[in-house]
């Protein structure tokens, strides 16, 4: 399946959760934030090249590490040259070759978020544990619904104090999981070591596996 | 079903408008096919053709008791005689379009799945603007030409691209696409892609270069016109004197017709812009107070 990880606002931890979810699902993570990519980069063909028709999507996937990744270039010129419409075929090609795909989407509601949603089988909405987060999550779910993408789960990320998870689940109509704020999570992407692999018994790891289970259930 | 077709042609481009009234109590599906000699340039949103348009024309539904208005452009074949083509299409606009009613529209025909094209069309492109893209790879030509707006931008990009050193220099696909459209040669018709890449390339070059090109060529045109004025009705001796003083020869006069057409277009555009400038009159003082 192709899973889109989305949020209304930026900075809520989409990239971290995409990385961890990909590790938990054994999927390829695609860094689709064309203008503001932040998953690790590796020299060689990247998503900018793929979307400009200069590289094969399957060959641009780096496997062998703890998580297989299709990195995204960092240049504005690359972001401008990329035709986001080609993302549909690229994601399907990666899915055919490698199995499940987790797409780390950009924040906001422009076409670079919409195209992954139009292609994906399901999405996970990431929200911060703030007062406005529920309204953001509702708007993002509406966009996903408009583009024919079902909501698999809601992740309330970086939770410190108790959050009304039931309200999230009721309003959004999907299982809600809280992921605690944890230094290991914030370092995971930088070190390229997912918490689900490096600290499998930890609370963050348990919660991410819960999310992954909810995604698997929705995919059936 | 009543249809009304109108065609205007100017400068190698025909603008076709079609109005279709469906007076029947059921929705009808129809097919509009272009019959002019050239590729269809459909209406676009965010660079993506509107739903129902393809290379041939439009395929869609007119709701019961309702009207649909369509419009598209055709880049007329350069081989066709431009003076003849417009009068031809003006005289019989119904020959420009072929409208075929395919019968009653089926409700279930609507595709439920949304496509990437739908997403781009409804949400708008998220590409960074051309002016934000640095052109550092070729400093000799581009920076010298385009001046301030672009030379001011490289700094923030370097800050956000620590790995950019190992990527190939990327003056992006615009230049590639422009080169590709150059390769097709002048004898071929411009395709939809050529037109959009040409527009994009022009956008990337910026308006300043446009202006400088225009003012430079205006001076050249002025010299040609002065020469033509001196030669008009002049005696042999005067003409010889004028030609020996001028840096251009008699062959420069060949382009007078083209000059006249270009100047008229420029004047029309300038007048239209001046009218718009006169109409748009925001309350600057109020805005300043707001800021």
Q: Is the pLDDT of residue A161 over 70?
A: yes
Whether residue A43 and residue B117 make contact (CB cut-off 8 A), yes or no, is no
Distance from CA of B69 to the nearest CA of A (A): 26
Q: Who contacts A190 (Cβ-Cβ below 8 Å, separation ≥6)?
A: A40
Strand partners for B72: B16
A55 and B CB contact within 8 Å:
no
Q: What is the pLDDT of residues A44-98, one digit of tens each?
A: 999 999 999 999 999 999 998 999 999 999 999 999 999 999 999 999 999 999 9
Q: What number of other Cβ atoms are within 10 A of residue A167's Cβ?
A: 11
Helix (H) or strand (E) holding B261: helix B256-279
Minimal Cα distance from B161: which residue of A?
A74
CA-based diameter of chain A, in Å?
Answer: 48
Contacts with A108 from chain B: Cβ below 8 Å:
126
Give every CB contact of residue B270 below 8 A, 6+ residues apart in sequence: none
Per-residue pLDDT, A128: 92
d(C-alpha A90, C-alpha A52), whole Å: 11
pLDDT of residue B47: 84
| Residue bearing the bigger pLDDT, A34 or B197 | A34
The DSSP code for A149 is -
Nearest-angstrom CA–CA distance, B23 and B26:
9
Residue B164 pLDDT class (50, 70, 90 cuts): very low
The crossing angle, in degrees rounded to 10, of helices B256-279 and B207-231 is 130
A44–chain B Cβ distance below 8 A for any pair: no
Element (H, E) at B104: strand B97-104
Write down how long chain B is: 291
Banded model confidence at residue B203, pLDDT cuts 50, 70, 90: low
pLDDT at res. B110: 56
Which span out of A34-38, A132-136, A194-198, B97-101 was modeled with the highest average pLDDT? A194-198
Report DSSP letters for A59-83, one per residue: TT-B-SSSSEEE-----HHHHHH--
User: Is a pLDDT exceeding 80 seen at residue B6?
Assistant: yes
Q: What is the complex's ipTM, to 2 decimals?
A: 0.84
Q: Kindly list the residues from chain B whose CB atom is less than 8 angstroms away from the CB atom of residue A106.
A: 126
Question: What is the percent of chain B where pLDDT is above 70?
Answer: 64
3-class secondary-structure state, position A111:
helix
Percent of chain B with pLDDT over 90: 14
How confident is the model at residue B114, as a pLDDT? Answer: 79
H and E: helices and strands count for chain A: 10, 7
- What would the mean pLDDT of B189-218 be, rounded to a whole number? 60
Choose the closest CB to A85 out of B114, B120, B132: B120
Q: Quote the pLDDT of residue B73.
A: 92
Check pLDDT > 60 for residue A13: yes
Question: What's the CA gap between B274 and B261, in Å, rounded?
Answer: 20
Q: Residue A93 in contact with residue A55, Cβ under 8 Å?
A: no
**How far is the CA of B35 from the CAs of B28, B62, B83, in angstroms?**
22, 21, 19
User: Alpha-carbon distance A140 to A117, whole Å?
Assistant: 10
pLDDT at B215 (0 to 100): 65
Q: Which of B126, B133, B166 sits opposite A77 (nearest CB)?
A: B133
**Which alpha helices (H) appear in chain B, and where do they start and end?**
84-91, 116-123, 142-146, 148-151, 154-160, 172-183, 192-205, 207-231, 236-245, 256-279, 284-290
Q: Is-contact A93 A50, C-beta < 8 A?
A: no
For tokens 């990247």, name the residue: A46
Q: What is the pLDDT of residue B141?
A: 43
Q: What percent of chain A has pLDDT over 70?
A: 100
pLDDT tens, B71-122? Answer: 999 988 766 554 444 545 556 777 888 888 888 877 665 555 678 888 888 8
**Does B144 have pLDDT greater than 90?**
no
DSSP annotation of B185 reads: -
Q: Could you tell me which CATH class the domain A2-218 is placed in?
A: alpha beta
Average pLDDT, integer, range B15-32: 91
* DSSP secondary structure letter of residue A106: P
Region B175-185: mean pLDDT is: 43
Most confident range, picked from A114-123, B99-108, B231-240: A114-123
Q: Is the pLDDT of residue B211 over 70?
A: no
pLDDT score recorded for residue B90: 54
Question: Nearest-CA neighbor of A74 among B149, B128, B201?
Answer: B128
From residue A122, alpha-carbon distances to A101, A152, B3, B56 in Å are: 11, 6, 44, 35
According to the model, what pLDDT value does residue A83 have? 92
Most confident of A160-169, B72-81, B178-187, B241-250: A160-169
Residues of B in contact with A81 (CB under 8 A): 170, 172-174
Instruction: Provide the pLDDT for residue B161.
Output: 41
pLDDT surpassing 80 at residue B193: no
pLDDT of residue A188: 94
Do residues A11 and A76 touch, judged by C-beta distance below 8 A? no
* SS3 state at B5: strand
Closest-CA distance of chain A to residue B12, Å: 29
C-alpha–C-alpha distance, residues A177 and B226, integer Å: 80
Overall average pLDDT of the B150-173 stretch: 41
pLDDT of residue B214: 65
Joined together, the tokens standing for residue B276 give 């718009």
- Confidence (pLDDT) at B226: 84
Q: CA B163 from chain center: how many Å?
A: 37
How confident is the model over B209-230, as a mean pLDDT?
A: 73
């Amino acid at each position: 399946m192709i899973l889109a990880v989305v949020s209304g606002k930026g900075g809520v931890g989409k990239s971290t959760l995409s990385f961890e979810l990909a590790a938990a699902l054994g999927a390829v993570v695609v860094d689709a934030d064309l203008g503001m990519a932040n998953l690790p980069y590796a020299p060689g063909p990247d998503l900018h090249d793929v979307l400009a028709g200069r590289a094969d999507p399957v060959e641009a996937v780096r496997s062998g590490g703890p998580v297989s990744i299709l990195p995204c270039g960092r240049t504005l010129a690359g972001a401008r040259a990329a035709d986001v419409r080609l993302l549909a075929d690229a994601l399907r090609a990666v899915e055919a070759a490698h199995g499940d795909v987790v797409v780390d989407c950009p924040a906001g509601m422009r076409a670079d978020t919409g195209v992954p949603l139009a292609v994906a089988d399901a999405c996970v909405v990431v929200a911060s544990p703030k007062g406005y987060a529920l309204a953001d999550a509702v708007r993002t779910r509406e966009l996903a619904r408009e583009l024919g993408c079902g909501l698999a789960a809601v992740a309330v990320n970086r939770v410190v104090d108790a959050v009304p998870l039931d309200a999230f689940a009721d309003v959004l109509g999907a299982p809600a999981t809280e992921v605690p704020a944890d230094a290991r999570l914030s370092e995971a992407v930088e070190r390229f070591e997912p918490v689900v692999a490096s600290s499998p018994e930890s609370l963050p790891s348990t919660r991410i596996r819960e999310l992954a289970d909810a995604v698997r259930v929705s995919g059936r | 079903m009543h249809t009304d077709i109108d065609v205007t042609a100017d400068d190698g481009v025909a603008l076709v408008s079609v109005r279709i009234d469906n007076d029947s109590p059921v929705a009808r599906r129809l097919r509009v096919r272009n019959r002019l000699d050239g590729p269809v340039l459909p209406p676009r949103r965010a660079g993506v053709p509107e739903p129902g348009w393809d290379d041939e024309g439009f395929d869609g539904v007119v709701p019961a008791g309702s009207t649909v208005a369509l419009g598209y452009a055709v880049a007329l074949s350069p081989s066709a005689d431009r003076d003849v083509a417009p009068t031809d299409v003006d005289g019989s606009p119904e020959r420009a379009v072929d409208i075929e009613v395919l019968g009653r529209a089926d409700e279930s025909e609507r595709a439920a799945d949304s496509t990437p094209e739908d997403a781009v069309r409804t949400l708008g492109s998220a590409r960074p603007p051309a002016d934000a893209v640095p052109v550092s790879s070729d400093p000799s030509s581009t920076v010298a030409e385009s001046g301030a707006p672009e030379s001011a931008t490289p700094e923030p990009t370097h800050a956000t691209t620590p790995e950019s050193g190992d990527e190939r220099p990327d003056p992006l696909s615009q230049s590639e696409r422009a080169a590709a459209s150059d390769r097709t040669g002048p004898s071929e018709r411009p395709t939809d892609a050529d037109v959009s890449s040409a527009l994009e390339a022009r956008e990337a070059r910026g308006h300043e270069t446009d202006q400088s090109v225009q003012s430079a060529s205006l001076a050249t045109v002025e010299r040609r016109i002065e020469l033509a004025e001196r030669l008009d009705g002049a005696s042999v001796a005067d003409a010889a004197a004028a030609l020996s003083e001028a840096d251009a020869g008699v062959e420069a006069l060949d382009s007078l017709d083209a000059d006249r057409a270009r100047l008229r277009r420029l004047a029309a555009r300038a007048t239209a812009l001046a009218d718009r400038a006169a109409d748009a009159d925001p309350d600057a003082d109020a805005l300043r107070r707001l800021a």
